[in-house]
Structure 1
């Protein structure tokens, strides 16, 4: 994975949800809709990152859903301070982190959480950022899919088969510059989505980079506009397919 997966900016604000459990996983939950839920699968900064909790709060309020942000890294937390500290970024071995949290290891618990939500709520969507994108596309697969809609932002670790096997309405939030979602993968995605016979949205963000939707700089007007547009696009997607 690229160093861009370790960079970004911490957002200001106080989250309004609470910490609880979803299955065997610790989780942040926000919102009170009893019919519609959203599962967030995070990037390497995990479930305690203030930005992701604030984003979950926005989804809950603006899309009228209950949002869950589980811990899928067994309590390992990457400090937001790393985003501001080049030395800490240098010392964080992201490939070792991915090795500890490989797809085969993490997908069983992610799918178990999604199944629990489907047994509780009438409609469930999932959104994955960076690391979490592959899992969300698997949750929305043609065979064995669990969720009713999927969304991914600046995805990492994607395989072509995970894109080609999507069987639910799917949204891609894609920055111009992204070493993890390469031009080749973008081209494959744009060619493949129209063949899947599902509604899709490919939302492009010129001038922005990997991580913009969860770690963009709110003090920069272009980045702020982009992360807000990404939030609004996801809210629209959830409204469209959960209500």
Structure 2
């Protein structure tokens, strides 16, 4: 079940550098390395509740392309039912203090938040979205990724999909993904979904995350680090960070931005290590 932290945070300003295309039946934001740089692999981002049009998610795709020399796909997996982008600002306002008029406005804000969040929760259950995600990864593996490594990077809502993709699904004898990364995943079945992982996955989780609490973090760590070579994962704990820090951190706060940057580097380093020398 989603929590308030799944919808809170900061919206970044600026203009993403990628392009929007139609690919395998879905609208997709695509970011690529600078001209002249070879593509080392494909990263497919499975986003948080705010979906493929959310500026933060597009900036993240740009950073993966620039820093890692990857072609990055950010698809529309939610069929137009992402959480509205005004929700984080309203949540921040709701939890602020203030005088009498601020408190009188709160019922109005709560009603709008329910209006904004409930459709996402109802229309993007795992049972509805998983076939869309799996079919897209299958199509990319059979086409654009036929000879390239493929990674999945899942955030919040997208984390559960990443872990399921890492369970060893294949197409024509090739894995749908070669490695996965997830930051602050939500709605996990622990330990069941972790035990089923067959591809290496890197986790980035804050110790203040109310979706995956410290005892669960340690349980995940013990499971993925005990897996055999080729399946073994890693867990990095970000102290003081809450749910959503890798995508929606308030970059006005120096430490929050630093942790978001570190999570970016963690993902890129993980894919670099697991894609090195890999081809089909």
Give the alignment's TM-score, normalised by structure 1.
0.93
Moved more, 175-184 or 29-38: 29-38
Per the alignment, do residues 92 and 179 of structure 1 end up closer, same or farther by CA in structure 2, a change over 3 Å counting? farther
Runs of 4+ in 1 over 3 A off after TM superposition: 32-35, 92-96, 142-145
Is structure 2 residue 254 aligned with structure 1 residue 216? no
Q: Which has the larger radius of gyration?
A: 2
The number of residues matched between the two structures is 243
- Indicate the structure with greater strand content: 1
Moved more, 115-124 or 208-217: 115-124
Is structure 2 residue 189 aligned with structure 1 residue 163? no
* Distance in 2, Cα, partners of 1:156 & 1:233: 19
Is structure 2 residue 50 aligned with structure 1 residue 45? yes
Corresponding position of 2:98: none
Corresponding position of 1:16: 17
Indicate the SS of the match to 2:86.
helix
Q: Does the CA contact (< 8 Å) of 1:37 and 1:117 recur in 2? A: no
Give the alignment's TM-score, normalised by structure 2.
0.81
Corresponding position of 1:26: 27
Deviation at 1:143, TM superposition (A): 5.3
Corresponding position of 1:128: 154
Per the alignment, do residues 158 and 95 of structure 1 end up closer, same or farther by CA in structure 2, a change over 3 Å counting? farther
Structure 1 gaps, min length 5: none
Corresponding position of 1:225: 258
Pick one of 153, 158, 183 that aligns with 2:214. 183
Indicate the SS of the match to 1:60.
helix
Deviation at 1:94, TM superposition (A): 3.8
Structure 2 gaps, min length 5: 92-108
